[in-house]
Structure 1
Amino acid sequence: MPNFDPIIEKITDYVQSFEAKENSLLEAKTCFFDSLACSFLALKYDQVQKFCSIEYIKNSTGSSRVIGTDIKSNPVEAAFLNGALIRWLDFNDTWLAKEWGHPSDNLAAILSMYDYLKVERNKNFSFKDLLNLMVIAHEVQGCLAIENSLNEVGVDHVAFVKVASAAIASKMLGQGPQKMNSTISNSFIDGQSLRTYRHFPNTGTRKSWAAGDASARGIKQAFISEVSEEIYPSALSAKTWGFNDVIMKKDSLKLQRELGSYVMDNILYKVNFPAEFHAQTAAEAAINLKKSNKFKIEDIEQVEILTQEPGVRIISKKGPLKNYADRDHCIEYIVAWCLINGSLNSDSYSDVSSKDPQIESLRNCTVTKEDKNYTKSYYDLNDRAIGNKVSVKLKNGIIFHEEVKYPLGHKKRREESKPFLEEKFKIAMEKFGIDTEYLMKVYESNNLDDVDISNILDRIYK
């Protein structure tokens, strides 16, 4: 049999054998519960309920459950809905590098495959098994993102979600190295999503379900490899027709870092602010300025935002903002809202909230610029800062400013974040009347060996 492209084989070798250490599994546990919190918080929105009522999914049969609902479907469609729920509010974990993304999107594949394999193939996984799978999925997606910028060629980051979910589904199915190589190669070949829906003038809610779609497609590739003997050894490197020539153009795909648990160990959580992550520290800075009570909104002459280069390129927007998806990816809107209200939540982006005339007044007098020091720290893998500085100039010439380099949820503020993350989870569960006693016991415990995964999962489905 021919050898596959080295990157594909490197991913396969890692996925086949990696076992995470206890500290990484505990971080994965926090990420697991945070992802569930995001799913339940999303369920209150009408558009989410419409997705959960898509007829061909709701009326299909299967053993894979959908978080917070009574829906049971096949693992592909269940992963689609689970991924949409986890991602909908832009509130789940984040990874920032040359490419960015949200590695907990892959939990959709893990949960859906868990149900399917338990019921249909009598195959069981422990809680530690699931957490180890999360560490692996985070690492595959996140390490691909470190060196490879899909956004620069107009392709969406969910392409890496698809690869990670395909690898995880393959592992859960028990596929050997050759089958896993085939699964991963197929996921690279599979059609990639354009970033059209993340940018003006086409920003839309597809960005909330794109990762669920990618996770589902990854699972599908794993199932295809079970019955097919096809192989695509040079899926990346084939001249003219391979992933590198078609998608990456001038920069071939790289995977230079040794795979381990780096991504999970350094993951970023969205603790208080459901907003695009490059704006997290801008929101915190603006809220701190508001809380200082040193000025009134009507006295502001100009707002200046100094941010990293991706913050300018991705979320600095002028002109009309059409919908929720447009607003939660606009750094000027986020800063304006926080300066006016001193807070930020999912309702801040609603059509009703956006009608406040003060928001447009502040957006019109806001200047957003790159600070090259912030950009340098952002790309430094030993620092990974996501700095923003918000300055407010008053009509009398007085200037107030606030700088925040590391967001709440960054590894350097992990201990500070823990109580907020725990409260985020508890509130999300209680809103749906879920008994949290056992769940909180697991959340707070460092002993993973005694955890009954069925006892957890049975509580999060109707």
Structure 2
Amino acid sequence: MKYDEVVETLASYIVKKWEFDNGTKNIAKLILKDSMGCMVKSLNNNQCKKMLGPVENGAYVERGIMVPGQRKGLGLLDASWNLGILVRWLDYNDCFLAEEWGHPSDNLGGIIAAAYHQAETGNKITVGDVLNFMIKAHEIQGVLSLCNSLNRNGYDHVFFVKLATAAVVSEILGGNEETIKNTIANVFADGAPLRIYRHAPNVTTRKSWAAGDATMRGVRMALLTKKLDEGYPNILTEPDWGFNANVMNDKNITVSRELGDYVVRNILFKADFPAEFHAQTGAEAAMRLSEKYNGRLDSIKEIRISTHESAVRIIAHKEKLTNPSDRDHSLEYIIAVALINGDLKTEYYYDEYHNSHPEIDQLIKKMKVIENPRYSNDYLDPEKRSVTNAVQLIFSDDEASELIEVEYPIGHKFRRSEVEPVIDRKFRSNVTGYFNTNEIEELDKLFDDEEKLFDMEIRDFMKKWVK
């Protein structure tokens, strides 16, 4: 049955047998390593730990899916949820920015859980297979983000997580092209959540678990469609009730480039400091200024920050920062604590730290954030995809510091040579405290031999992360 063109394009991409080259596979391996480290780091967060385990108390599963932080197995949906929130909780995993933004490794929750689930039925699924599925999910979420802005219509980017997870998991579960099209159509019919939980005065920890919820819902849609294989061929274009008319405000959702491995190739890794990605270069600029001017922060009269439109709209000019979820998405807060400390740690967002450091708010009151149109254009330029911030300090005697402009964050493709040692250092830091020294060495070595890693069964791989 012929579906809307976008649905046809996505399903055709999923079922094609792709042989990704070594460069793409190496980046995918780094994404997996980084994501696993983020999962373990999240186990230190008390709010995150409250959300772990089965949604229904006591609903563990014999021979279930093993998840970091859980000593008993979980069912497929619960495992997708747990893995998804662990990857995403600290906002420390990879990122892709365009008209829409998001974190494509959020899809790993559903992908790993589904692969593990299928392996339990006798199908050999390796880490290499999982990475191929992951590359496809990254591509779907990222390419849809290039020219389709959900946020401008009030909807949350995790809809694209649900969609990408569902499409890939449908394949993992044995779906053919028709089933995958029906699954995608059901996701579009399911709709998108509002962004209300990401914006003041309604910011809550839901922004930390929304992606886990989305990847779990993607798995659920794949399962439901497998049971009764029905869909909606005109789900996007139906003039009264379709997705384009009702969610996109009559703008057609599009696939703006040929699908392949573009998104993994252009993925943005977060450096070994946690900051919302639009603020990463601002944090780096502030750290450089801190090296020279840390002893003069009391005499600052004004802090001038130039940034791109998305940062102004999403993470700047917040009047109140009432919880960690607010603070780690505040450009001004991130720059303030980076100036004060010369680094950036998750702990700086906690209530205790904020309440005991009044100088943070004093610096924020001196900040002036403006949009630089060139930065905004370069942010959307497919050949650049820059995420520029510039910071300058003006002192009470009218002396000005140098203007520190950082165009590309360390995790950008144009600084790719810097990424691998950063990911290695970040990984070891993330898992320290949960695993002992010998266990860390063993986990780190998993990623040294690519051939051995890619051929490892996914169940064996995941069991190494459970204590």
TM-score, normalising length from structure 1? 0.96
What is the deviation of 1:57? 5.3
CA distance in 1, matches of 2:302, 2:454: 57
- For 1:389, what is the secondary structure of its paired residue? strand
Judge conservation of contact 1:143–1:257 (CA < 8 Å) in 2.
Answer: yes
Q: For 2:456, which of 452, 456, 461 is the aligned residue?
A: 452
Structure 1 residue 423 displacement after superposition: 1.5
Structure 1 233/267 Cα, relative in aligned 2: closer, same or farther at 3 Å? same
Checking the alignment, whether the CA contact within 8 Å between 1:442 and 1:451 is kept in structure 2 is: no
Aligned ranges 1:234-273 → 2 under 5 Å: 234-273=234-273
- Pairs within 5 Å for 1:28-427: 28-53=28-53, 56=56, 58-61=58-61, 63-119=64-120, 121-293=121-293, 296-355=296-355, 356-400=357-401, 401-427=403-429
Aligned letter for 1:452?
Answer: M
Contact 1:52 1:58 in 2 (8 A): no
Deviations 1:148-195 (A, max 9, x none): 000000000000000000011101011101111000110111131100
Letter of the structure 1 residue corresponding to residue 111 of structure 2:
I
Name the CA distance, whole Å, in 2 between partners of 1:321 and 1:123: 49
How much does 1:230 deviate?
1.8
Q: String of CA shifts for 1:275-315, please: whole Å, max 9, x gaps.
A: 11000000000010001237511100001110000010000
- Asked if 1 retains the 8 angstrom alpha-carbon contact of 2:33 and 2:447, the reply is yes
How far 1:273 sits from its partner (Å)? 2.1
User: 2:247, 2:55 → 1: CA distance?
Assistant: 34
Q: 1:107 to 1:53 in 2, by over 3 A?
A: closer
- The equivalent residue for 2:15 is 16
Unaligned 5+ segments in structure 2 are none
2-side partners of 1:211 and 1:346: how far apart?
A: 19
CA distance in 2 between counterparts of 1:53 and 1:108 reads 14
**Per the alignment, in what secondary structure is the counterpart of residue 110 of structure 2?**
helix
In structure 2, what is the Cα distance between the partners aligned to 1:383 and 1:160? 23
Q: CA deviation at 1:447?
A: 3.2
Question: Does the 8 Å contact 1:94/1:103 carry over to 2?
Answer: yes
CA contact (8 A) 2:446 2:453 kept: no
Letter in 1 for 2:314: I
Distance in 2 of aligned mates of 1:354 and 1:457: 36
8 Å contact kept, 2:128–2:454: no
Q: 1:72 to 1:342 in 2, by over 3 A?
A: same
Aligned equivalents of 2:371, 2:359: Cα separation in 1: 25
| Match in the other structure for 2:435 | 433
CA distance in 2, matches of 1:307, 1:168: 36
Superposition deviation, residue 448 in structure 1: 5.3
Question: Structure 1, residues 315-335: CA drift from partner, whole Å, max 9, x if none?
Answer: 003322110000000001111
Residue pair 1:18, 1:260 contacting (<8 A) in 2 also:
no
Q: Which residue of 2 aligns with 1:461?
A: 466
Q: 8 Å contact 2:196–2:203 — kept in the other structure?
A: yes
Q: Which moved more, 1:439-448 or 1:105-114?
A: 439-448
Q: Return the offset for 1:53.
A: 4.8
Q: CA deviation at 1:441?
A: 2.5
SS of the equivalent of 2:293 reads: coil
- From the superposition, tell whether residues 217 and 358 of structure 1 become closer, same or farther in structure 2 (CA, over 3 Å): same
8 Å CA contact 1:306–1:388 kept in 2: the answer is yes
The answer to whether the Cα contact below 8 Å between 1:316 and 1:331 also exists between their aligned partners in 2 is yes
Once the two structures are superposed, residues 37-88 of structure 1 have per-residue CA deviations (whole angstroms, 9 ceiling, x without a partner) of: 1111110111111111566155342622222322422111211111111000
Partner secondary structure for residue 142 of structure 2: helix
- Aligned residue in 2 for 1:6: 5
**Residues 55 and 78 of structure 2 are in contact (CA less than 8 Å); yes or no, is this contact kept in structure 1?**
no
Normalising by structure 2, we get a TM-score of 0.95
Q: Secondary structure at the match of 1:369?
A: strand
Counterpart-to-counterpart distance in 2, 1:191 and 1:378: 28
Cα deviation 1:119-143 (Å, max 9, x = unaligned): 1x21121221111111000000000
Cα pair distance change 1:60/1:450, threshold 3 Å: closer
Cα RMSD (Å): 1.5
Per-residue CA deviations over 1:235-262 (Å, capped at 9, x if unaligned) read 1111121110010013210102000000
Shift of 1:147: 0.8
Amino acid at match of 1:261: D
Amino acid at match of 2:445: K
Once the two structures are overlaid, the 10-residue window that deviates more, 281-290 or 338-347, is 338-347
Query: Please, which moves more after superposition, 330-339 or 413-422?
Result: 413-422
Which residue identity does 1:229 align to in structure 2?
Answer: D
Answer yes or no: is the 8 Å Cα contact 1:84–1:209 preserved in 2.
Answer: yes
- Letter in structure 1 aligned against 2:28: A
Amino acid at match of 1:339: L
User: What's the CA shift for 1:21?
Assistant: 1.9
Secondary structure of 2:369's partner?
Answer: strand
**Matched residues in 2 for 1:444 and 1:377: separation?**
36
Structure 1: distance between partners of 2:406 and 2:333: 18
Structure 1 residues 432 and 449 mapped into 2: Cα distance closer, same or farther (>3 Å)? closer
Residues 439, 456 of structure 1: 8 Å contact kept: no
**1:77 is aligned with what amino acid?**
D
Letter in 2 for 1:7: V
Provide the rounded CA distance (Å) in 1 between the counterparts of 2:369 and 2:55.
44
User: Residues 294 and 429 of structure 1: is their aligned pair in 2 closer, same or farther, counting only changes over 3 Å?
Assistant: closer
